[in-house]
């Protein structure tokens, strides 16, 4: 069994729980998820099966989209509503949603390639140890900054309560969709937006809509996997080709003879050097039918080989 399953992770399960359950249901030990989702979050969790697990890092590093709701009026140590409250906004604070443009401006200020603080409860490492380990030992580490790429924050609910629904602003979640690169923490977007509004905020709901080419409307629930297992069905219908994990990388086609050389660990010159994106530093070779042959690093050609790429395989898929 080999490929990628687009799992709809339910809230209340860790990503590791999902992998453990699938190992039992599929009878396959080689299973790994692509990009951790917090236990209370739900949505797209691509899971690699078989040889596809060797590509998990390439898929988890892809672009992502999230639907998020945030509660206003306080902060917590985990930046979501399930953490311990660390600060409460004074009761006499003016309605931060009274001026819609203020919220829109706060969202815009967080877009782009920006420095974002890593949450104290996160898998980001410091001196070989995850920050959440320090936090659970009572020694939280703050101020660890990393560059992230927040492409857009689209506000879905930015208006004050109407007379027909006079709920105070503290009880009204702000809703938005964020498109971002790998490594972005949406709960930190909530915290930072709350601070810019002057009222504090904590993430109250998170649904991942997309990871790379895998979308929510194409995902399959764990209950559906269980049903397929009980009915004795094969899982081919929910297995996507492993090559989808490489959609962000440059694909270079090879003929049969070149494919054979790559499988034997030999380098080949491949056309298409100008199409290679320099910032990637990676490429993959495909044979007839679009099947993956090898992953490799490339360097631009020179002289009479200008515009060609030297493909040096570091992993082959027989």
Q: Give me the active site residues, please.
A: 38
H-helix or E-strand containing 251?
Answer: strand 250-253
Measured distance CA(289)–CA(283) in Å, rounded: 17
Token pair of 87, please?
């600060």
Structure tokens at 309: 């790429």
CA–CA distance, 155 with 177 (Å, rounded to integer): 7
The answer to whether 76 and 130 have CB atoms below 8 angstroms apart is no
Torsion, Cα 125 21 234 238, to 10 degrees, reads: -40
Q: Shortest CA distance to 300 belongs to which of 318, 264, 275, 267? A: 275
Q: How far is 184 from 208, CA to CA, in rounded Å?
A: 12
Q: Do strands 64-72 and 201-211 pair parallel, antiparallel, or not at all (unpaired)?
A: antiparallel
Run of H or E including 145: strand 145-155
Crossing angle of helices 186-197 and 100-108, in 10° steps, is 130
């Amino acid at each position: 069994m080999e490929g990628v399953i687009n799992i709809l992770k339910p809230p209340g399960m860790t990503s590791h729980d999902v992998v453990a359950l699938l190992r039992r249901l599929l009878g396959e030990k080689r299973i790994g998820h692509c990009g951790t989702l917090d236990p209370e979050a739900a949505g797209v969790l691509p899971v690699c099966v078989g040889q596809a697990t060797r590509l998990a890092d390439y898929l988890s590093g892809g672009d992502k989209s999230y639907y998020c709701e945030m509660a206003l009026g306080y902060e917590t140590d985990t930046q979501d509503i399930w953490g311990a409250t660390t600060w409460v906004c004074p009761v006499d604070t003016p309605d931060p949603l009274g001026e819609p443009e203020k919220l829109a401006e706060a969202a815009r200020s967080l877009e782009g390639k920006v420095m974002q603080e890593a949450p104290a409860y996160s898998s980001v490492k410091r001196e070989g140890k995850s920050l959440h380990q320090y936090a659970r030992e009572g020694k939280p580490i703050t101020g660890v900054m990393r560059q992230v790429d927040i492409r857009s924050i689209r506000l879905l609910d930015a208006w004050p309560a109407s007379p027909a629904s006079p709920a105070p602003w503290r009880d009204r979640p702000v809703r938005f969709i964020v498109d971002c690169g790998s490594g972005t923490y949406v709960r930190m977007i909530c915290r930072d937006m709350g601070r810019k509004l002057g009222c504090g905020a904590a993430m109250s709901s998170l649904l991942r809509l997309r990871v790379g080419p895998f979308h929510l409307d194409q995902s399959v629930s764990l209950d559906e996997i269980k049903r397929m297992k009980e009915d004795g069905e094969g899982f081919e219908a929910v297995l996507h080709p492993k090559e989808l994990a490489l959609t962000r990388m440059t694909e270079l086609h090879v003929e049969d003879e070149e494919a054979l050389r790559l499988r034997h660990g030999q380098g080949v010159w491949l056309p298409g050097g100008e199409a290679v994106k320099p910032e990637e530093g990676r490429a993959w070779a495909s044979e007839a039918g679009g099947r993956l042959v090898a992953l490799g690093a490339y360097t631009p050609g020179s002289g009479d080989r200008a515009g060609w790429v030297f493909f040096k395989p570091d992993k082959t898929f027989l």
